[in-house]
Amino acid sequence: MKRDIAIDYLRSSVTVAVVVHHAALAYNTFSYYDSAHYARSAAPIVDAVRFAPLDVLVGWNDIFFMSLMFFISGLFVVPSIARKGVGRFLADRTKRLGIPFVIAATLLAPIAYYPSWLLSDSVSQGGFLSRFFTTDKGSAGPAWFIWVLLAFCVVVAIAYQFIPNLMKKLSWSPKSAGNLVVVVLAVTLIATIPMQLFIAPGEWFRVAGPLYFPASRSTLYLAWFLLGVALGSADPGRSLSRENLRPWPLWLIMGALGYGSHGILSSGNYLANTPAWVLTLILATAFSFCCAFTSLAAIGLARSIFRTKWSPADHFSENAYGVYIFHYGFVIWVQFTLLSQPMPAAVKFLVTFSVALTASWFFTALLRRTAAKRFL
């Protein structure tokens, strides 16, 4: 696929949003730390000082940004398979996704979670590494996205090889903004509502070892990945044109309304006497509206403002994958270092974000000058 600057810079922007999200988790008002079971905490580090506006940032981000990440990844799958062939595509995906995941799960994750363990009751018992991979079940952190993406790519590649007619039918090129919205919203609702009716929102499913994924959102992420595959099979430059994405400001408002509704209704102060399944249905619908419209608005915004190449943005884009892989350790260690510092939470958040983004960017750029470039 010919390079699409808007999509390329959007992918980089979502990576920045991931760093922002993790940097904020220590300082929003609803994060908690479980000293008895540090691996079950809402975040590895939770500071005593909090900054309420970060609640909105964390909550809104959480609803849409991983779906958008899977969507962007899906755009490039079919063109890559068509260019390389199924065998080489799978080999390349395994090398670029599988190897970094193994490194992240076995090396980077223990380094990242060590400060969290130091704050826990388990520190007196020692044996961090042995407990991390056994009792504490070895969380891979944000790297869960990498192995799930690899699994999705394998499924599509197999379908491309053995069910080519199905792949042709999946190809989709919306003719208008209305068509784009209707399909994306419908797919999001169908993928979200049944799962949230039967699976708790925060439930994670562990396949084996560090192979785990968010159970209630598994079909949502697969659906958005396949939406990307469908559009990428056609002509995303035309399907996601500025004309089709022109209503993005309205979509952003719709996403905000969806987020606001979800936040108000999930607070428990409204619809108190409503049956649980009805409330879940309403919340899942609000969630879907926020996810669909915010993601479409983000794509439209990117199409509107990212029109020409910019050297710093190109450099970050080249290193964005490495930033995603390495940022988490920097985030947690900076948060841990700042725990005892008498600083406002907003300042700690900005310091954590700035240091983690810069350090992971710089570290990735250095690694890409070595043989590690083939994986990054």
Check residues 29 and 173 and name the one with the higher pLDDT: 29
pLDDT score of 273 more than 80: no
Which amino acid would we find at residue 273? Answer: N
Q: Hey, what are 358's tokens?
A: 């810069």
Band of the pLDDT at 272, cuts 50, 70, 90? low
- The pLDDT confidence band at residue 109, using thresholds 50, 70 and 90, is very high
Contacts of 248 (CB under 8 A, 6+ apart): 296, 297, 299, 300, 301, 303, 304
Cβ contact 57:17 at 8 Å = no
The residue type at 200: A
> 173 versus 55: which is more confidently predicted?
55
- % pLDDT > 70, the chain: 98
Q: How many CB atoms lie within 10 A of CB 268?
A: 8
Indicate whether 235 pLDDT > 80: no
Strand partners, 204: 214
What is the pLDDT, as a whole number, of residue 319?
A: 97
Q: Is the pLDDT of residue 138 over 80?
A: no
pLDDT mean over 163-192: 89
Strand partners, 212: 206
| Coil/strand/helix, residue 204 | strand
Average pLDDT of every residue of the chain: 93
Instruction: Examine the pLDDT at 238 and tell me if it is beyond 90.
Output: no
Residue 1, pLDDT > 70, answer: no
| Mean pLDDT along residues 94-123 | 95
Per-residue confidence (pLDDT) for residue 306, from 0 to 100: 93
CB 315 within 8 Å of CB 18: no
Q: Is the pLDDT of residue 164 over 60?
A: yes
Residues 355-361: contacts with CB within 8 Å, 24+ apart?
355/330, 356/19, 356/22, 356/23, 356/327, 356/330, 356/331, 357/16, 357/19, 357/323, 357/327, 359/326, 359/330, 360/19, 360/322, 360/323, 360/325, 360/326, 360/327, 360/330, 361/316, 361/319, 361/322, 361/323
d(CA 201, CA 281): 12
Tokens of 245: 């994405």
Indicate if the pLDDT at residue 295 is higher than 70.
yes
Q: Does 121 have pLDDT greater than 60?
A: yes
pLDDT-based confidence at residue 54 (cuts at 50, 70, 90): very high
pLDDT of the residue at 165: 82
Residue 193 pLDDT more than 60? yes
Q: Residue 315 and residue 319: Cα distance in Å, rounded?
A: 7
Q: Give the model's pLDDT for residue 246.
A: 94
Q: What is the pLDDT of residues 8-35, one digit of tens each?
A: 999 999 999 999 999 999 999 999 999 9
Any residues with CB less than 8 A from the CB of 62 and at least 6 apart, and which? 21
Q: Using the predicted structure, report yes or no on whether residue 240 has a pLDDT greater than 70.
A: yes
Query: Do residues 88 and 74 touch, judged by C-beta distance below 8 A?
Result: no
> Model pTM?
0.94
**pLDDT at residue 71 tops 70:** yes
Q: Is residue 367 over pLDDT 70?
A: yes
Mean pLDDT of 267-290: 85
Summarised one tens digit per residue, pLDDT across range 209-234 is 889 899 999 999 999 999 999 999 88
Burial (CB count within 10 angstroms: exposed 0-12, middle 13-18, buried 19+), residue 162: exposed
For residue 237, pLDDT beyond 90: no
- Within 10 angstroms of residue 274's Cβ, the number of other Cβ atoms is 13
Which pLDDT score is estimated for 25?
Answer: 97
